[in-house]
Structure 1
Amino acid sequence: MNVPIQKPTTLAATETAYPLIQRMRNPYWMAPMSGITDLCYRHLIDEMGAGVIISELVSAKGLVYSSERTAKMIRVHENPGTLVGIQLFGEDADDYVRVAPQVQEQGAHFIDINLGCPVKKVVKKGCGSALMRDPEKLYVFLQHIRANIDLPLTVKMRTGWSHEELTIHECVDAAKQAGCQWVAIHGRTRQQGYSGQADWELIADVKRNTDIPIIGNGDIRSADRARQLLEESGVDAVMIGRGALRDPWIFKECTGELGDTLSPTPTELLHRFHEMLEPVYDMRRTLLYLRKLAVWMAYGYPGAAAFRGMMFSLPTVRQVLTEGEAFFRKVAHLPRPKFDEAEAFMMGGHG
């Protein structure tokens, strides 16, 4: 779209145009991650201080057809301490309109549309990153949804389809003109998938050329890096994904709320997660999610590889909690692991 961008002259004008972001707890957000940011993990990360929390990828079509499994994915925990959004994908704009009341009834504060997913089964339907190939079509798509739902609308996108198709400026403008409340940008193209480095210079350039709130995402492994990118890029907030999996305290550290010792401790966090999981899932899934959290938090400590192997062989929740407590007690005197920004860890997700 070739609509000229006119920036408001005052901060008050920005707040009036984009009120949703004014309600965030802080500018350090949990990135939506497929198979990870479910109801219980979102609840846990809420208690750990994330600024805004967004669900894993949910099929709008699945909600239209009343899939029980899909319906469970849009549940929101009671009394969230900050904004909680549900991220949807689908090629039919009318599907979003049909399911918006369901999302609203669950207590979500906004609907987020995924324009970043590079996965073939999503893209071949015209969803995810494929919607970025035609910014004018994207505008019509988003405008139709925004005009017919009550919840605020946000989007998450990549920088473009490929380095030859960097449509991010045009797509951000389409989102702005359609009435979206913010745009989150994963600084990679669809072609890159999760390889290479996120292009934070491009994210910063987008921010300089628009007044819609921009949220940056990609390659944040530490609180220092999160604070640095927030300041240098000028974005309104940053999303932390994989870095938060092995360091759930990262949000407290970003905001200066974390002291010299981990609070809650890894053992306390594991037990708290169990309390959240038990009423929601059967024993198999409870066990799986507990194992995952334990090995994520152990990553980087001596003996972590052997601990991981043991965790995934334990048959009961009690054993996972007991062995987890023993491991974290053994490493409690050690400094927290530091991670290289270029280090590969959990190279997946969906946006």
Structure 2
Amino acid sequence: MESKLRPLRIGDAILENNIILAPMAGVTDLPFRLLCKEQGAGLICMEMVSAKAIMYNNKNTEELLEIHPEELPVSLQLFGSDPHIISEMAKRIEERPFAVLDINMGCPMPKIVGNGEGSALMKNPALVEKIVAETVKAIKKPVTVKIRKGFDDAHVNAVEIAKAAEAAGAAAVTVHGRTREQYYAGEADWDIIAKVKEAVRIPVIGNGDVTDGESAARLMEQTGCDGVMIGRAVRGNPWIFREIKAYLQTGEKLASPETAQVKEMILRHAMLQLKYKGEYIGIREMRKHVSWYVTGFPYAARFRQKVNEMETFDDLMRGVEAIFM
């Protein structure tokens, strides 16, 4: 088969391959991003950052903005709804070592949408165009947008939004094939990704229901999209990048990681958490990751109850030893 794994150009940023880690709040922090990069992700997307929080010098935001040389190239994602604030904050942080600036127009969370941010922006194509145009003018780095199919089934306007973003100077668009109303339920509509691809000349990245190499290849075949973004399927499974790369390149299906590899990855992940966040926060944040890593293992359900009691690295070590006996 012809390889679907290829370099991807976004503005002046050239990615080694077209398999991309999605930005996910509470998931794609620095420790996890480093692991995904090691497994072969072509672009690493950070957790979304509030443009207003940067403006007000929010102390927690600095950690969200941290970028490690080993994870490059990186996409930094801002969310907000004020074109002036987003563009000015993009300018303020432009010297940081990210390759691409993404604007979040897809987050479905009620708090974000209630503020007119995230997927609420899809209700206002004129505002989308203004936000992108002002940000493109403010910085030299490429600006991209991440959108959904539409706000709800009565307002499926991904094509209109993508065209507005392109007209304003966006360098690429990522389309998640679900409406805001769907959140992450039901099937992703890949047809809408194909329609966006037909409507714009900038690269289109498809997102939604990619869980392995076969589904990544199908998405690219069915939509003609230029790249694939992996979201929830990466939780507890950074190996998915290695697997998709192999399948797109040769059609080969790699074996799932062995038990010893899963155990080693959990411990490495936990050590990175300790390194960058300290034991108190690091181990507490690690709890959800451990639950994802052990999904499908014998006794995983019983083990998950114990996970929430872990407070130290030693607790985690003992728990991991117990399940991987």
Q: Shift of the alpha carbon at 1:234?
A: 1.0
In structure 1, what is the equivalent of residue 300 of structure 2? 304
Say which SS state the counterpart of residue 246 (structure 1) adopts: coil
Q: 1:158 aligns with which of 127, 141, 148?
A: 148
CA distance in 2, matches of 1:175, 1:190: 19
CA distance in 1, matches of 2:19, 2:171: 17
AA at the equivalent of 1:262: P
Q: Is the 8 A contact 2:103 2:144 kept in 1?
A: yes
Q: 2:270 aligns with which of 254, 267, 274?
A: 274
In structure 2, what is the equivalent of residue 99 of structure 1? 89
Q: Is the 8 A contact 1:33 1:57 kept in 2?
A: yes
Q: Shift of the alpha carbon at 1:153?
A: 0.5
In structure 1, what is the equivalent of residue 5 of structure 2? none
Q: Shift of the alpha carbon at 1:316?
A: 2.0
The percent of aligned pairs where both chains have the same amino acid is: 36
In structure 2, what is the equivalent of residue 61 of structure 1? 52
CA distance in 2, matches of 1:119, 1:207: 26
1:182-219 Cα distance to aligned partner (Å, 9 max, x none): 10111111222222211111111221222111111112
Q: How many residues align?
A: 312
In structure 1, what is the equivalent of residue 31 of structure 2? 40
Q: Is the 8 A contact 2:19 2:228 kept in 1?
A: yes
Q: 2:257 aligns with which of 262, 270, 273?
A: 262
Q: Shift of the alpha carbon at 1:253?
A: 0.6
Does residue 189 (structure 1) correspond to residue 179 (structure 2)? The answer is yes
CA distance in 1, matches of 2:273, 2:140: 31
CA distance in 2, matches of 1:208, 1:30: 24
Q: Shift of the alpha carbon at 1:268?
A: 1.9
Q: Is the 8 A contact 2:91 2:138 kept in 1?
A: no
Q: Is the 8 A contact 2:273 2:279 kept in 1?
A: no
State the TM-score, normalizing by the size of structure 2: 0.89
In structure 1, what is the equivalent of residue 229 of structure 2? 239
AA at the equivalent of 1:27: N
CA distance in 1, matches of 2:275, 2:81: 34
In structure 1, what is the equivalent of residue 118 of structure 2? 128
CA distance in 2, matches of 1:140, 1:314: 47
CA distance in 2, matches of 1:275, 1:320: 11
In structure 2, what is the equivalent of residue 142 of structure 1? 132
AA at the equivalent of 1:163: D
Structure 1 unmatched runs, 5+: 1-14, 331-351
Structure 2 unmatched runs, 5+: 1-7, 248-252
CA distance in 2, matches of 1:186, 1:156: 8
Does residue 252 (structure 1) correspond to residue 229 (structure 2)? The answer is no
Q: Shift of the alpha carbon at 1:90?
A: 0.8
> After TM superposition, where is structure 1 displaced by more than 3 Å over at least 4 residues in a row?
18-21, 257-261
Does residue 19 (structure 1) correspond to residue 11 (structure 2)? The answer is yes
CA distance in 2, matches of 1:289, 1:231: 37
1:31-79 Cα distance to aligned partner (Å, 9 max, x none): 1111111122212211121121111121000000000101221111123
Map 1:317-332 → 2, pairs under 5 A: 317-328=313-324, 330=325
Say which SS state the counterpart of residue 26 (structure 1) adopts: coil
Say which SS state the counterpart of residue 275 (structure 2) adopts: coil
CA distance in 2, matches of 1:238, 1:20: 19
1:152-192 Cα distance to aligned partner (Å, 9 max, x none): 11100111111111111111001111111110111111222
Deviates more, 1:117-126 or 1:193-202: 117-126
Q: Are residues 150 and 230 of structure 1, via their aligned partners in 2, closer, same or farther at CA, if it must alter by over 3 Å?
A: same
In structure 2, what is the equivalent of residue 119 of structure 1? 109
AA at the equivalent of 2:103: I
CA distance in 2, matches of 1:28, 1:69: 29
In structure 1, what is the equivalent of residue 288 of structure 2? 292
Q: Is the 8 A contact 1:26 1:50 kept in 2?
A: yes
CA distance in 1, matches of 2:149, 2:263: 39
Say which SS state the counterpart of residue 255 (structure 1) adopts: helix
Deviates more, 1:313-322 or 1:194-203: 313-322
CA distance in 2, matches of 1:325, 1:284: 21
State the TM-score, normalizing by the size of structure 1: 0.83
Q: Is the 8 A contact 1:86 1:103 kept in 2?
A: no
Q: Shift of the alpha carbon at 1:250?
A: 0.7
Say which SS state the counterpart of residue 280 (structure 1) adopts: helix
CA distance in 2, matches of 1:259, 1:189: 33
Q: Are residues 77 and 266 of structure 1, via their aligned partners in 2, closer, same or farther at CA, if it must alter by over 3 Å?
A: same
CA distance in 2, matches of 1:246, 1:278: 18
AA at the equivalent of 2:205: I
